[in-house]
Amino acid sequence: MRTARAALLLVPLVLVTSACEWRGVNSLTLPGTRGHGDGAYSVDIEMPNVTTLERNSRVRVADVTVGRVDDIRLDGGHAVVTVVLDGGTALPANATAKIGQTSLLGSAHLELAPPLTESPTGTLEDGDVIPLERAGLFPTTEQTLSALSLVLSGGGLAQAQEISRELNLALTGREESVRALLGQLDVALTGLDDQKAQIVGAMESLDALAVEVSAQNQALADATDALAPALDELSSRRDDLTRALTSLGDLGRIAGDLVDASGDDVVANLRDLEPVMASLTAAGDSLTESLRYLLTFPFPIDTYRNAVRGDYANGTVILDLTLPTLENALLLGTPFENALTGPPAAIPPVPTDVSAPDPMGLLAQLLGVPR
């Protein structure tokens, strides 16, 4: 009977283990794990490396166990970890996942957390996938011990002491200069940070220019080849060009001396020319209008055909004898300028105390006889 019972117990166990891949006790759902009950949901996490993570490993949020690892499989060159979380676990849709160690020599667990570099959005739900770019690993004990071994085995500890001693010797007595240098460096870096957008724009413009130059590379090469004969000709004429530039410098020096020597005379001539230019300005359109009479005097060129009609001639004469016109036409620029339109000359007053003349006295004076 005991043998029969053992056989009956082994039959379902053999059937189960033959129906699926046996990977030890962790292939079974162990009691005491989380992720059971109403509201539990599963999430797939793409991981670059699962290290020592196993099925039934704990899933934590803020160091609190909220679920378990349900399955680990390979998909497209990376691992996919399926976790089952308790129904009350609330995480954003852009949550991150990292594999860490529970203790220095403990088992691995999966840590879920909101993102640090962006704002949390949405809600993580059943069937969601945490992509590879939001998954990673904390440093393992092996990696930490390996880095510590590199330092302790002469990989940097002695050198750090030597660097510290030499740095102290270099800075001794120069504290103020170093402090001022650090302040200036802070100002420079702050200015660069403020102009980050302009610097990026300049780099993008430079990149666009480089692309354009690269596209026109053949045209630039052809232009350079075409320019080579001109450069050879200029090189062969270098002595002539040098003499021409030297002569041009001598001419400029002589012209400068001439201007310095005759500067006063030029200024005086320009001042004497001022009344002439003023007269031309005052003439206005009269000078250009008078040219119409040059070939058809005394008739204007645009009406000379109507001057003589049959046995009579047409003509119109406008005679302007106003004082301003006579002033501008005859006396402008002469010593008599403003003589006609200027203020009137002072007229001496007529004396009022003169008595009336004596006619008999005047006659006696003309005859030369006493009155």
Residues 29 and 138 in one domain: yes
In three-state secondary structure terms, 84 is: strand
pLDDT exceeds 60 at position 8? no
Q: Where does a domain end: 85, 119, 143? A: 143
Q: Where does a domain end: 128, 143, 158? A: 143
Residues 44 and 93 in one domain: yes
Structural domains of the chain, count: 3
What residues have CB less than 8 Å from 97, skipping those under 6 apart? 45, 47, 81, 110, 111, 112, 130, 134, 135, 136
In a domain, 276, yes or no: yes
Residues 40 and 133 in one domain: yes
In a domain, 52, yes or no: yes
In a domain, 57, yes or no: yes
In a domain, 175, yes or no: no
Please state at what angle helix 217-236 crosses helix 196-215, rounded to 10 degrees. Answer: 80
In a domain, 89, yes or no: yes
Residues 127 and 198 in one domain: no
pLDDT exceeds 60 at position 4? no
- Model confidence at 244, in pLDDT bands (50, 70, 90)? very high
Token look-up 């995480």 returns 91
Q: Rounded mean pLDDT of 173-193?
A: 91
* Alpha helices (runs of H) in 286-346, residue ranges in sequence order: 286-290, 323-326
Which percentage of the chain shows pLDDT scores above 70? 79
Looking at residue 16, its pLDDT comes to: 46
Asked if 81 contacts 72 with a C-beta cutoff of 8 angstroms, the reply is yes
- Model confidence at 29, in pLDDT bands (50, 70, 90)? low
Residues 35 and 123 in one domain: yes
In a domain, 322, yes or no: yes
Sign of torsion over alpha carbons 252, 258, 264, 270: negative
DSSP states along 100-117: EESSTTS-EEEEEE--SS
Residues 43 and 137 in one domain: yes
In a domain, 204, yes or no: yes
Residues 34 and 136 in one domain: yes
Residues 136 and 189 in one domain: no
pLDDT exceeds 70 at position 20? no
pLDDT exceeds 60 at position 81? yes
188 lies in which domain range?
Answer: 180-219
Sign of torsion over alpha carbons 49, 144, 109, 125: negative
Residues 199 and 218: their CA atoms lie apart, in Å, by 30
- Model confidence at 357, in pLDDT bands (50, 70, 90)? low
Token look-up 């043998």 returns 3
pLDDT exceeds 70 at position 31? no
In a domain, 84, yes or no: yes
Residues 214 and 268 in one domain: no
Residues 89 and 189 in one domain: no
Beta strand pairing call for 78-85 and 108-113:
unpaired
Q: Rounded mean pLDDT of 320-337?
A: 77
Q: Where does a domain end: 84, 115, 143? A: 143
- Model confidence at 108, in pLDDT bands (50, 70, 90)? confident
